[in-house]
């Protein structure tokens, strides 16, 4: 090949790169947050051709048209379920004190579900005991078991749950399991074979393949963790169906809510909508939404969120709760990559005299996410926010408490992925006694943590700061 041809190809390559940069500069900021646009443009500037390919694959946080149409039917199913729940003579619609009313109204407008009284709620923080209690409830099931998990592993814990589902299925109990196709990809084939051979119905959420017309995007996942037994008992929280020892010597620390009462029917409605989205099967029989007396006195409501919904619910709720705080806020999360709105809310809360505490995991299972998260510590510390770094394993629990009044527990992380890309579910609980129980869990986590000081954090090496700041630039893409 002559030098002239080589020079021409080189010029052409440079022109293509600059064309991509210019086009992306025009297209990327449309319908994106400034942080997300900045991240894409940063990557495009350095590696324009790979950036364009990745952008075409995952650039827009929306599902394909066929799924959006199906979700419109799913929203109607949710609305019908909500109407059924709301008009039950056994369903308690509490008159809220002023401290609760704005948050409850926001949650209902974001996720459709009203606040319901008459619930009995317990917190489960012991990993293996949570699994054992779930298995015990499955063993006692009479009509149906519905289970949705981001990760369902074919390990010791997964086998125990499979055995319980197998026994239930043989008793004639309807068992349905929905697992995220990407989160459970290592074990999906084995899990499906074992469950289906036992008569359990199994579906994968958002399967990704280049050969199917209805393939999902790899970055849009169903991250919910929900279990419903006989429409009377529910589980929701951070714990997947996998052994606690995530990696050798690194144990997951979780928090799960065990629920009995009307709000379980809201969890049932979310499962039914997700099941319909993936299978086309409608679960609207009255047996799935029975009218029963309440089991307790706690007020709660469910917030489902994700790209299917027209408004990003989880992020808006967190920001609104922080702005509503008057005394103190506790946020526990394994992944902390806030957007601009959340950073401003946290800083403003401190300026108003609110005590803001972040309980974060020192260990991380994702190097890039960990680097990006740590890039925010300096800004948080300078704002007067207290940071505790949990050192006894991977703190995977996700919960928020505001003013010892309102608690949020579920699958939602405090990051852009949970706020915009993942399908999540959070239970909002309005009860001072439950808040004291959650405060006790937070105290245990703080006791196993080290409080981070500004002086110590400033001593990290310059190359470390540089790498963290680079990771922060691309954090909106994580």
In this prediction, residue 1 carries a pLDDT of 59
| Measured distance CA(79)–CA(266) in Å, rounded | 10
pLDDT for the residue numbered 348: 98
Q: What confidence score (pLDDT) does residue 462 get?
A: 87
Q: What is the pLDDT of residue 170?
A: 96
Residue 101: per-residue pLDDT: 86
User: Which two structure tokens, joined as six digits, stand for 326?
Assistant: 């008057």
DSSP string for residues in 193-233? HHHHHTT-EEEEES---SS-TTPPPTT--B---EEEETTTE
Give me the helix-helix angle, 367-374 and 462-473, nearest 10°.
Answer: 100
Distance between CA atoms of residues 24 and 49, nearest Å: 11
CB 301 within 8 A of CB 119: no
Residue 213 is predicted with a pLDDT of 54
CA distance 168 to 228: 14
DSSP 3-state of 389: strand
Q: Tokens 């929701």: give the residue.
A: 236
pLDDT along the chain (478 residues), means of 10: 68 77 74 65 77 67 68 74 64 73 91 91 97 98 98 97 98 98 94 97 86 63 96 97 87 96 93 92 89 86 88 90 96 94 96 98 89 94 97 96 96 92 95 96 97 93 84 67
Distance CA 451, CA 457 (A): 11
- Inter-residue contact 148 to 119 (CB < 8 Å): no
Contact 38, 28 (CB under 8 A): no
The β-bridge partners of 358 are 331, 387
Residue 256 near residue 124, CB atoms below 8 Å = yes
Q: Which run of H or of E encompasses 427? A: strand 424-430
């Amino acid at each position: 090949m002559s030098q002239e041809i080589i020079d021409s190809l080189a010029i052409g390559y440079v022109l293509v790169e600059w064309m991509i940069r210019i086009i992306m500069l025009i297209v990327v900021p449309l319908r994106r947050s400034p942080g997300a646009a900045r991240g894409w443009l940063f990557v495009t500037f350095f590696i324009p051709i790979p950036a364009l390919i990745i952008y075409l694959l995952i650039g827009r946080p929306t599902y394909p048209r066929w799924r959006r149409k199906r979700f419109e039917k799913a929203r109607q199913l949710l609305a019908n379920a909500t109407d059924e729940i709301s008009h039950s003579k056994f369903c308690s619609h509490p008159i809220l004190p002023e401290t609760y009313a704005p948050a409850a109204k926001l949650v209902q407008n974001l996720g459709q579900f009203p606040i319901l009284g008459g619930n009995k709620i317990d917190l489960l923080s012991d990993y293996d005991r949570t699994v054992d209690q779930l298995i015990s409830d499955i063993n006692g099931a009479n009509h149906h078991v519905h289970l949705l998990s981001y990760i369902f592993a074919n390990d010791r814990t997964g086998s125990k749950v499979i055995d319980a589902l197998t026994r239930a299925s043989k008793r004639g109990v309807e068992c349905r399991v929905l697992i995220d196709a990407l989160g459970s990809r290592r074990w999906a084939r084995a899990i499906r074979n074992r469950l289906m051979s036992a008569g359990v119905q199994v579906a994968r959420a958002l399967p990704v393949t280049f050969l199917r017309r209805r393939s999902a995007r790899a970055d849009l996942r169903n991250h919910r963790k929900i279990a419903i037994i006989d429409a009377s008992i529910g589980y929701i929280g951070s714990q997947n169906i996998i052994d606690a020892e995530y990696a050798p010597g690194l144990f997951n620390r979780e928090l799960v809510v065990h629920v009995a009462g009307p709000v379980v029917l809201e969890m049932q409605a979310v499962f039914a909508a997700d099941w319909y989205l993936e299978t086309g099967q409608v679960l609207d029989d009255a047996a799935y939404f029975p009218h029963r007396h309440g089991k307790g006195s706690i007020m709660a409501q469910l917030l489902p969120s994700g790209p299917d919904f027209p408004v990003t619910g989880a992020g808006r709720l967190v920001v609104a709760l922080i702005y509503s705080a008057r005394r103190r806020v506790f946020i526990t999360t394994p992944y902390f990559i806030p957007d601009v709105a959340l950073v401003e809310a946290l800083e403003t809360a401190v300026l108003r005299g609110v005590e803001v505490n972040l309980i974060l995991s020192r260990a991380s299972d994702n190097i890039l996410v960990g680097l990006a998260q740590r890039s925010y510590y300096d800004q948080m510390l300078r704002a007067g926010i207290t940071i505790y770094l949990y050192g006894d394993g991977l703190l995977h629990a996700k919960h928020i408490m505001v003013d010892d009044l309102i608690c949020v527990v579920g699958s939602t992380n405090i990051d852009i992925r949970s706020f915009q890309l993942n399908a999540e579910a959070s239970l909002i609980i309005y009860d001072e006694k439950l808040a004291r129980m959650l405060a006790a869990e937070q105290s245990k986590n703080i006791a196993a943590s080290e409080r981070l000081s500004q002086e110590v954090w400033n001593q990290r090496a310059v190359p470390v700061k540089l790498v963290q700041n680079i990771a922060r630039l691309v954090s909106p893409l994580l």
